[in-house]
Structure 1
Amino acid sequence: CLQVVYKNNDVRLELSRLAKQGDPKMKIHGVVAFKCENVATLDPITFETPESFISLPKWNAKKTGSISFDFRTTEPNGLILFSHGKPRHQKDAKHPQMVKVDFFAIEMLDGHLYLLLDMGSGTIKIKALQKKVNDGEWYHVDFQRDGRSGTISVNTLRTPYTAPGESEILDLDDDLYLGGLLENKAGLVFPTEVWTALLNYGYVGCIRDLFIDGQSKDIRQMAEIQSTAGVKPSCSRETAKPCLSNPCKNNGVCRDGWNRYVCDCSGTGYLGRSCEREATILSYDGSMFMKIQLPVVMHTEAEDVSLRFRSQRAYGILMATTSRESADTLRLELDAGRVKLTVNLDCIRINCNSSKGPETLFAGYNLNDNEWHTVRVVRRGKSLKLMVDDQQAMTGQMAGDHTRLEFHNIETGIITERRYLSSVPSNFIGHLQSLTFNGMAYIDLCKNGDIDYCELNARFGFRNIIADPVTFKTKASYVALATLQAYTSMHLFFQFKTTSLDGLILYNSGDGNDFIVVELVKGYLHYVFDLGNGANLIKGSSNKPLNDNQWHNVMISRDTNNLHTVKIDTKITTQSTAGARNLDLKSDLYIGGVAKEMFKSLPKLVHAKEGFQGCLASVDLNGRLPDLISDALFCNGQIERGCEGPSTTCQEDSCANQGVCLQQWDGFSCDCSMTSFSGPLCND
């Protein structure tokens, strides 16, 4: 150690202090640490997991201070140091809950090292080095501050900074955390700028030679005293790559970390360190939701969101953050079979001018195929990334000055917080799994009772979804709804269950000869339509007649290029039509049948002579989910909620003397033609 003071009579020049302050007249060569210690005794430590951390006493660095340490890792992300001051509520009448704190942090994001500092009059965020520092080599970090100015150096490259505003005092009130944060962060206030804290990225790697204000800190001893799990009193780099042993189960994607493997389970339907635990499935029938009401209002500038879904509906809300105070939202929904991401950062800043409105991205198509799909969203400030399954990511940049997302809730199934919504997305019908938001697997946390701020009526486990079933008890029963909107394209979905061979399920007439019909003919489904240049018939594909008293799923669509698709359960039929492209419908949409006198005037290719007798459910008209009874313009005949099947079903001995039992909706009849008997039961 050497303290350089030059004295000439009464002139006293503290050369070492001038050098430390970066005086332009002083030149520094090599690594000069402005401290004096016997450094040989400081052992390195390794943080082996993102959850491991050490808490150090409060750093009293109001006006000046210095921190230096060495670190070494191959991991891209992690919070290395963090401390904050007392919460100050902003004097902003519109948003009194916006809490501000002084804070100091050093974090790694995407391999880069950042210094973050706020002394009460604005945050600075400095990238300490242009190159990435997660190459497994040792790096020496030195942070010096004096009032509003200071430097951060990595090895010998110094980056000076000056904090904005007037404040020169860094008022820290809490412990100084090294390597990460507490699991239960209730007492901590996270500044939105410290992305690793909000994303739950703890540091995994080595630290040595920690000095605070020139004093060495024996962090190995502190780890022993705090009996911290996952802290090792040495630092070695294993040469074997952990992923070589394929530790991730169930197709999880493995990434080599620092002496550990990291599994990305988001596309698997499993959770756990090695994707070994099956993730809970939630089933939604269109009247169900799960709502996470967070204990404190959240403000974030970075989010990692992933979820898996399975649905036959082209429209429906998957997940949304909602706020009670603003139109802020990060929302994922199905829109015409694609995933749509909407991010709206409404104006919640004090100095904020008008909001720039929502940013939207689309990804994937035909995702309502009743298969599992994985959606991932990554937001970092203004940059957005949306990925579906293994397709290429869609990216976008947000306009406007705002990067802060405010939310009180994370909602699925139904959006309940609607005050600031211009249009409400359709309720979700289908299954969700593995919903993870900034490291929290909410569906499983709710199921296991690990969090107590979860409200839901969606059902755990995989259930076949029959939404809003209605029974048409006679062939003369039908309802009329508002005209079907199918001018340029359409998407229809419904489920049915019947014992009848024939019956008209849906009919809408239009201008000229335009019309659309869906009917059962001899147990098979027919889709008949005319766009203006002649009627067309597409027969749905099924191995056997559909009047087997089982539920069947039907999807019928037409895109803007006149590609018609009929899907019955898993079998798909497609057909393109040339010529006219628009289906110009007028008058009412009839479901279940029409008035008796109308059957005579139905178009030629339509077979139906009577209505549909049986159950319909889950009716979806272009994303609108009508209630067949309460939304009906009028009802005719006997129509009831629920699905009560045949009261009496065919048994082996229903008909005597080898008569053939014919199942009907309101009972059965016997076909005696192949016997020498007659009568209702072939026993006369």
Structure 2
Amino acid sequence: MLTIDGDEASAVRTNTPIQITTGGTYHFGGYFLQTQASPSQRSFQGCMQLIRVDDHLADLTAVERGMLGAFENVSLDMCTIIDRCLPNHCEHGGRCTQTWDIFSCSCDGTGYTGATCHTSLYEQSCEAYKHLGKYSDVYWIDPDGSGPLGPFRVFCNMTEDKVWTTVVNNLPAQTAVSGSSRDRRTVLQLNYSATMEQISAITDGADHCEQHITYTCRSSRLLNTPDGTPYTWWVGRGNEKHFYWGGSGPGVQKCSCGIEHNCINPKHHCNCDADQKQWREDSGLLVYKDHLPVSEVAVGDTNRPGSEAKLTVGPLHCHGDRSYWNAASFNTPTSYLHFSTFRAETSADISFYFKTSAPHGVFLENLGNTDFIRLELKSPNVVTFSFDVGNGPVELNVHSSTPLNDDQWHRVSAERNVKEAVLQLDQQYRQVRAAPAQGHTRLELYSQLYVGAAGGQRGFLGCIRSLKMNGVTLDLEERAKVTPGVKPGCSGHCTSFGMYCRNGGKCVEKYNGYSCDCSNTAYDGPFCTKDVGAYFEAGTLVRYNLMPEVTSSVSSMDGKDFAQSLNTDMNLTREVVTFSFSTSSTPSILLYISSRIHDYMAVVLRRNGSLQLRYNIGGLLEPFTVDLDQRNLANGQPHSVNITRIEREIHVQLDHYPSVSYTLPEASDTQFNLVKTLFLGKVFETGPIDPVLIEKYNTPGFVGCLSRVQFNSIAPLKTALRSQLAVSVSHQGKLVESNCGASPLTVSPMSANTDPWHLEGGADFPFNEERVVPDGLNRNSTIIGGIIAVVIFTILCTLVFLIRYMFRHKGTYHTNESKGAERSESADTAIISAEPNFTETIEENKKEWFI
């Protein structure tokens, strides 16, 4: 029978008595046979006590004295097992397990990582995600990093210059409230997707927070203004009651209409306080962030006949992260900031951003009697993390392949715990050092924490920002305001983050960050990556004036004097045109740029769906015309066009295909003179215009989507959609903003060398449009017809050859004598006189053919 902890684990019962005979020797803890396995794999590790054999207690004292049995590597009369999970060094709910020698932490599902689950897997805020190049989405954030607050999910809205963090609640919109009175109020509780402590971490670090609240009423009073006791109030952070409503502020018992003096009844400060039988509403934003979020609302006037109310409390929105941009500039080698002693006995993490042009400098240092901790830029390519917990100095180094004194932001994170030390640079370079199995583990520091120079060390010159130590952000800016040699904030963010401003967007420096100026681009959004497009109906056009209107006296001058009288910016030797379009209708004019003389540029879609570029510049008798692609582009898919002209060189890129170059003829000018107006979709012009464009392509106009339209530094379509007061742009017809240009191209890409419609060279000039396949003819039919014609021609030639071969010996023969040979002096004379082009033919074809 086997018994474990007093419970019968297994038993074998039989009616026949069983006799078990054992030898005279018992082995406890292992029997070391001659095997290849190590003793640790074959023997028991742990403690035994109260060992009984044949119901007699084993005398371990006699074993120890050598009077009974033998032992090896055993501590008798004591138990030396160490519980390495007590105390538990696994943080944030990590699960501790151990072997005989070591413990380990499982961090699965905690949101943290590292040897002791100390380091958060997530960024501290939506602002941090934005500057990693992320876009609007739901993210996990951890505002205090390795601190006690766990990570939680928020929605990050990055469509504006400001990055908004949104935390939602569970109160349905227009929640009906009835049966409440001043004595028995109905209390509506709001639960959020994060705890109040987590939300407080957002609001404390934010620049601005707001929450929209709406009370819709019928015969239901709200705040009982002007002098009565409020029927309804709301409770915010700290469980305080508040008697002001959205659109108002603390201490003012009013709604937004009372602040703006436009309430339905001027005697009251809220619309609902008028107590009318019609549905009324009081709504607005609560913006005092120390009171947010709304945790409950108590409603107290819906018990009278006909009295009804509906309540809506929107999500909490906050923007800004003051800890992320909290920075200080160290201007002299002796500059430093000091803070209270860093308390990190068994676990410490430090993270910050720095930028400098100096080759070395101490970032921070904290000292004890013998213990210390230090982070330092040791050389232009090396960052060092050194410390001593009583076992001797330890130094970790990470080497960068590029210099770190490049005046760009670099991120440093260091962690030290009882298991290991880690140093990481730019989330790319990393070194790990295991802690010794035995020895001291507690870091004991006594001095102040110095950021910058300390104790004669080489001081740091440059900027440090977002300095966090064990999840707490040190307020560098506030301390820098009262410290000589150190300035709050740091300029030059664009040197590191300017690359995120795309499509020609300009990086603009801010006190605590940067923004992308997209005003001179055809894009929008925080990084100038959002397409701005519009849907054109038949007859819709956009007109952008490139040249200011001039007086009639000036316009009566001849062209040459007129050109000299205007700004030279209107005479272009270079233009860059980019746009995207999608349509299923042809023909049409996509883009047309006119001038005050006969110069123009046009991009048109022909009847067969192919794209054509037309240039008419001074010196040409007829427009320079290029068919950019023979494919049908009116297939409902978005296509991008990029056209660049530099004097006579024209470079065109269509979709994903390589750029193709064309050259204007030598007779043409290099200047596009007196550019006047840019048209999109259709042309409505009073000046000189190519009649071919009007006759073939202008009616009924472009129907489809245009987006990303840019001409040099002008975005005409974006201006037409966004600038209501712009005098330079106008449109006719219905123009509806659309993101159709952002739709993915569903036609599979094709490389230029496998594209049967790819043109290797430029077009000849003048290009005869009629030489191309006529409009309306099916391209596949043309190919098939050509193949059939070649086959038939080959068969006929073969038949002619056979017939000539069969009849060449039938008794008749031909001579190649020319007519009139009998009147000529010789055969040569006869041939020359009969064939006037004979000499030219010989020069062109030197070969003789015999049949």
TM range (shorter): 0.3 to 0.5
TM-score by length of 1: 0.35
TM-score by length of 2: 0.29
Q: Which structure features the higher share of strand residues?
A: 1
- Higher relative contact order, chain-length normalized (CA < 8 Å, sep 6+): 1
Q: Rg: which structure is higher?
A: 2
